[in-house]
Structure 1
Amino acid sequence: MPDEQFWSIGELAERAGATVKTVRFYSDRGLLPESARSGGGHRRYGPQALERLRLIRCLRALDLPLAQVQRVVEDAGGADRVLEDAVASRLRELGREVKAMRWREAALRLVGECPPAERADRLRLLGAVSTPPSTAPLARFWRGWLPPRMPARATAAFLEVAVPEPPDEPSPDQVLAFARLHAMTTAPCPAGRRPQPDVHRVGGADGASLLYAGLVEAFDLAGPHLRRARDPYPGEALDAYVAAYASAYGSRDTRTFRRLLATRLAAEPRLDRYWELTAVVRTPPSGVPEPTPGTADDWLRRALQRDNAAAA
């Protein structure tokens, strides 16, 4: 290569519209190939270094980390694949960052707009929640509530409907509801409280699997009725609900069983506050709350009571 095609570090910086400090930084990290050295030992660069420098600056303008930039420029054979992976990774990171920023914005509005007497309590609630918020504490709560040794698939299916995901663009009310859910599920259980209601423990691990799989199905069937605000009534959803308990207990769906089930359900503890807060977290921008397992269970219990009353 003729001498006039070699550039000093200052000339390369000028051609690229960068600073000498920037060129030296990338050169020291081995990202810019040197074409030669001057008699005094100074670096000399050619057109390849100029192209590389322009590529590096474009990648850095996209906020790609230096380590990923280095993999892109050094992997000549798989540069496209490496670049795609790097861009996808950065997009995921940005998604998390944007979600965290929106959560913080809603949290700040929550604190700024509340009465002064409530601020200390809200700050305490918000300070206990990670940003962006994690659903792990809620999942741990339910794993303690669910029967032990329940099959993993049944557990995962129930957690999917029971644990609300924080919305990507939360309102202050949704931030507060999620923070209260976090506080509720991380608080120590009162002394003497059993982790599961008796009605869920009768059938053992196999019965629990049948029960929760059946309950998820019954909740799905009740969902459309809840969305249409229909009054509880006997039908397919109630039949699936009763069948879930009957299967777990090794019984049959009879009139006697329905009466006994209603009695047992009425005596069991409820998690009404959890489901009320979950409904707030899951309320879409339209303002119409999505059904939750709690609202579905309440609808089905009332349908069972109505069915028993009609048969009496």
Structure 2
Amino acid sequence: MNATTLYSIGELSRRTGLSVRTIRFYSDSGVAAPTTRSPAGHRLYDLDALLRLELLRTLRELGIDLATIQRVMDRELSIAEVAAAYTDAIDVQIRTLRLRRSVLQVVAERGSDPEETTLMHRLTQLSDEERRRLIDDFVDGTFGTVDADPAAVAMVRAATPRLPDDPSSEQVAAWVELAALVGDDGFRVRMRRATLHRTAGHPPAIESEAGEELMAFTRQQVADAMESGIDPLTDRAAIVVDDLVRRFGKVLARTPDKEFRDWLAARFEEAHDPAVDRYWRLVWIVNGWQVVPGLIPAYSWLIQALRV
């Protein structure tokens, strides 16, 4: 093979793996024009045309469009420049496909109806900037008053939920629930009240009344039950809660009956808003943070168990 060798269109087809019809199309497009024609009028191609067709086939198989390939052939763009641009584009496509897969997994697992499916898709299609704006609006709407505690605002902003590029189905479901939560005006009021109370450094009344030793014991017992997967509405939970009710009754000089259980539940509800606990739990899930046992929203579990 040398630079003067000429190939028929059939020979090019055998060497490149492209069909005769495809080579003819590329020839007519000017991407790989024939070098000359035979006396019978048949197209003939030189080595340069063969190499151009082999490169063209490679680039097409990599997903590069014909117009861009033409610019490469004309030396307007280098292959490296095209590869860099297409790598970025493919990264975007991969992230999009992964997100779609996660949404579809959630829909399949939950048996979502059309409305929920549409909402889920719309919320996950938001750009990173749009998601940040959604949370910023929530923080501004919750703490944007002149008497807002800077420490409270800083705490919430520091834990801004950020949906990753390749979210799990659990993270997608958590993000959708979180987006609905932050858009609720009633929740904003509850979030502001709970957060400002916490940053003020004043312990809830039930914690002051019961004392640190009993509260630490309670948090540990409930955390252990939750880690063991014990449902708060089951008999297994009742064993844990009955013991706690007796301990609180002894410390507070109260009879551990149903009235006292209801009273305890109400006091714990005052101490920790379940909706606010849920917000922080969703933030941990969306951000993929490791759940710290000491920060598990134990009061929500305990309140449910006390109400049984």
Normalising by structure 2, we get a TM-score of 0.52
Q: Which residue pairs with 2:281 in the alignment?
A: 276
Q: Which residue pairs with 1:26 in the alignment?
A: 26
Change in Cα spacing, 1:159 to 1:138, as seen in structure 2 (3 Å) is farther
Tell whether the 8 Å contact from 1:164 to 1:282 is kept in structure 2 after alignment.
yes
Q: State the percentage of identical aligned residues.
A: 30
Tell whether the 8 Å contact from 1:33 to 1:48 is kept in structure 2 after alignment.
no
Tell whether the 8 Å contact from 1:8 to 1:44 is kept in structure 2 after alignment.
yes
Note the C-alpha offset of 1:58.
1.4
**Which of the numbers 123, 127, 147 marks the counterpart of 2:121?**
127
Note the C-alpha offset of 1:184.
4.3
Q: Which residue pairs with 2:17 in the alignment?
A: 17
Matching residue's letter, 1:86: V
Q: Does 1:101 align with 2:94?
A: no
Alpha-carbon distance in 1 for matches of 2:114, 2:35: 64
Tell whether the 8 Å contact from 2:163 to 2:175 is kept in structure 1 after alignment.
no
Alpha-carbon distance in 2 for matches of 1:21, 1:134: 43
Q: Secondary structure at the match of 1:64?
A: coil
Note the C-alpha offset of 1:13.
1.8
Question: Gapped runs of 5+ residues in structure 2?
Answer: 146-155, 194-270, 298-308
Q: Which residue pairs with 1:141 in the alignment?
A: 134
Tell whether the 8 Å contact from 1:107 to 1:126 is kept in structure 2 after alignment.
yes
Question: Gapped runs of 5+ residues in structure 1?
Answer: 149-157, 199-265, 299-312
Note the C-alpha offset of 1:112.
2.2
Q: Which residue pairs with 2:49 in the alignment?
A: 49
Change in Cα spacing, 1:165 to 1:84, as seen in structure 2 (3 Å) is farther
Q: Mapping of 1:91-240 within 5 angstroms? A: 91-114=87-110, 116=111, 119=113, 122-131=116-125, 134-144=127-137, 145-146=139-140, 162-170=160-168, 172-184=169-181, 187=183
Tell whether the 8 Å contact from 2:103 to 2:121 is kept in structure 1 after alignment.
no
Tell whether the 8 Å contact from 1:5 to 1:46 is kept in structure 2 after alignment.
yes
Alpha-carbon distance in 2 for matches of 1:70, 1:99: 29
Alpha-carbon distance in 1 for matches of 2:73, 2:157: 44
Matching residue's letter, 2:62: L
Deviations 1:104-127 (A, max 9, x none): 33322222223x5x6456424323
Change in Cα spacing, 1:87 to 1:167, as seen in structure 2 (3 Å) is same
Q: Secondary structure at the match of 2:7?
A: coil
Note the C-alpha offset of 1:162.
1.8
Tell whether the 8 Å contact from 1:6 to 1:44 is kept in structure 2 after alignment.
yes
Deviations 1:178-207 (A, max 9, x none): 12234445x5857xx89xx79xxxxxxxxx
Tell whether the 8 Å contact from 1:282 to 1:289 is kept in structure 2 after alignment.
no
* Cα RMSD for the two superposed structures: 4.6
Q: Secondary structure at the match of 1:32?
A: coil
Q: Secondary structure at the match of 2:123?
A: coil
Alpha-carbon distance in 2 for matches of 1:68, 1:279: 44
Q: Which residue pairs with 2:232 in the alignment?
A: none
Tell whether the 8 Å contact from 2:8 to 2:45 is kept in structure 1 after alignment.
yes
Matching residue's letter, 1:7: Y
Q: Does 1:59 align with 2:55?
A: no
Alpha-carbon distance in 2 for matches of 1:159, 1:26: 56
Normalising by structure 1, we get a TM-score of 0.51
Q: Mapping of 1:296-307 within 5 angstroms? A: none
Note the C-alpha offset of 1:137.
3.2
Change in Cα spacing, 1:74 to 1:135, as seen in structure 2 (3 Å) is same
Alpha-carbon distance in 2 for matches of 1:108, 1:160: 30
Matching residue's letter, 1:85: E
Higher CA-based Rg: 2
Matching residue's letter, 2:91: G
Deviations 1:218-273 (A, max 9, x none): xxxxxxxxxxxxxxxxxxxxxxxxxxxxxxxxxxxxxxxxxxxxxxxx9xxx9665
Matching residue's letter, 1:129: L
Q: Which residue pairs with 1:87 in the alignment?
A: 83
Change in Cα spacing, 1:104 to 1:30, as seen in structure 2 (3 Å) is same
Tell whether the 8 Å contact from 2:26 to 2:32 is kept in structure 1 after alignment.
yes
Matching residue's letter, 1:137: E
